[in-house]
Amino acid sequence: MSTVRVRFFASYAELAGCETTAVEVSLPATVRDVVRRVREQLPGTRALPERPLAAVNLRHVKLDAPVGDGDEVALLPPLAGG
């Protein structure tokens, strides 16, 4: 099992009840697997969209992107910068 750090922001942090958590996944794993584990661990995140925006190690990725031990996965509400 590998540990992935997960970060939540803005409205998603309010749903999760925290700004960061850690989940364990067995490799090979993707962001989608991480989202699934998050939904199991934090019931509030079940209200997240089916396919949330995500980033791994500070870069936008799709849900089928691979994750590895020690990666930082971020689940991003619809972007509103500018």
Residue with Cβ nearer another protein (10 or 22): 10
Write the Ramachandran bin of 14: left for phi over 0, alpha for psi from -120 to 50, otherwise beta: alpha
Tokens 């540990």 sit on residue: 3
Is-contact 29 1, C-beta < 8 A?
A: no
Interatomic CA distance for residues 66 and 17, integer angstroms: 26
> Which of the residues 20 through 59 are near another protein (CB under 8 A)?
43-44, 46-50, 55, 58-59
Q: How far is the CB of 81 from another protein (least distance, A)?
A: 3
Asked if residue 1 binds another protein (CB under 8 A), the reply is no
Residues interacting with another protein, by CB under 8 A? 7, 9-12, 15, 43-44, 46-50, 55, 58-60, 74, 76-82
